[in-house]
């Protein structure tokens, strides 16, 4: 029997939380919510650098799931904020394993959107035996073409936002926007790096929803949010996401036997549908859901409903 379509689950408090030392430099914030003896699920936030929030718990039925959230290195409540040293995709994969072992979890469902989809795929391909399923949204595969699209291509759809993003950089440096932003984001002067972070982050926020959302743009412009997001995104983009070109599609065969759902907004400007389509071709057993009236944000109504439906379908998958 098909369940009626529903929106997010009600807000739920954390069960437990803590700060987990990862090395001499980084400490990870983590939290759990829902049913302590329920089906384990791990939420992977986007960015890199965006951090997790209370609303992210609401994609999972608290009467069924034991939900784990954490802030990746340099993001959110993990420390130090915006730290790029010892911060690579390979570090993050190991951090997930460290957290899994710390919580005594054998296997878990992975849920991730945008950069979270990248990290979920990278972890699942590295440790398929630890993954019961994947719920992915707004697919980003870390390829050079996708990075170039963010830096320049989005201007075809959001020219005003891109003009503000590009015009922040002096004209003489606009031939390499990524390098120019990296230089400013790494500057020790807060007036320089916070200003650059806001310019980068509000560009992304302005392009993330199908319809204009001043609230979304304002949230992306928060100084702390912007610094973690912009500094880490620029760092990862400058290193091609610390992945070999085409790696996640090349190694998609390692997902064989893992059920999954790919949720994609038809009008996603930040992560266009082509990447989701290519992932579906490389991983044919995954369900491919196109939301016809949505952009990139996980909080758009159609995306929310599709993601909740996906976690409900995954209930009981072992």
Q: Which residues are catalytic?
A: 114, 268, 296
Name the nearest CA neighbour of 185 among 221, 148, 220, 226.
Answer: 226
Residue bearing tokens 């878990």: 108
Report the alpha-carbon distance of residue 217 to residue 45 in Å, rounded. 18
Rounded Cα–Cα distance for residues 204 and 209 (Å): 10
SS3 state of residue 171:
helix
Tell me the three state secondary structure of residue 27: strand
| DSSP H stretches of helix in the chain | 89-103, 115-126, 144-151, 159-167, 177-185, 190-206, 214-221, 223-238, 247-250, 273-282, 301-313
Phi-psi region of 82 (alpha: psi -120 to 50; beta: other; left: phi over 0): left
């Amino acid at each position: 029997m098909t369940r009626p379509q529903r929106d997010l689950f009600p807000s739920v408090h954390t069960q437990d939380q803590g700060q987990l030392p990862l090395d001499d430099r980084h400490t990870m914030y983590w939290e759990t919510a829902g049913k302590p003896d329920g089906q384990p699920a791990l939420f992977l936030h986007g960015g890199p650098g965006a951090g997790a929030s209370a609303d992210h718990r609401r994609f999972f039925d608290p009467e069924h799931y034991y939900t784990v959230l954490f802030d990746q290195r340099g993001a959110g409540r993990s420390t130090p904020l915006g730290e790029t040293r010892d911060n690579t995709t390979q570090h993050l994969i190991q951090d997930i394993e460290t957290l899994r072992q710390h919580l005594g979890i054998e296997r878990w469902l992975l849920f991730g959107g945008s950069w979270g989809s990248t990290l979920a795929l990278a972890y699942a391909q590295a440790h398929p035996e630890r993954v019961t399923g994947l719920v992915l949204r707004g697919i980003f595969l870390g390829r050079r073409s996708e990075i170039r699209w963010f830096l320049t291509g989005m201007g075809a759809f959001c020219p005003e936002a891109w003009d503000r993003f590009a015009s922040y950089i002096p004209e003489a440096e606009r031939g390499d926007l990524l390098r120019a932003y990296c230089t400013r984001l790494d500057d020790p002067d807060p007036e320089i790096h916070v200003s650059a972070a806001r310019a980068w982050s509000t560009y992304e926020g302005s392009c993330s929803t199908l319809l204009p959302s001043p609230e979304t743009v304002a949230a992306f412009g928060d100084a702390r949010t912007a610094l973690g997001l912009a500094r880490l995104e620029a760092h990862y983009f400058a290193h091609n996401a610390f992945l070999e070109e085409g790696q996640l599609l090349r190694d998609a065969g390692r997902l064989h036997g893992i059920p999954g759902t790919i949720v994609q907004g038809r009008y996603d400007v930040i992560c266009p549908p082509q990447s989701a389509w290519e992932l579906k071709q490389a991983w044919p057993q995954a369900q491919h859901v196109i939301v016809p009236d949505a952009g990139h944000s996980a909080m758009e109504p159609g995306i929310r409903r599709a993601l909740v439906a996906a976690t409900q379908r995954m209930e009981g998958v072992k």
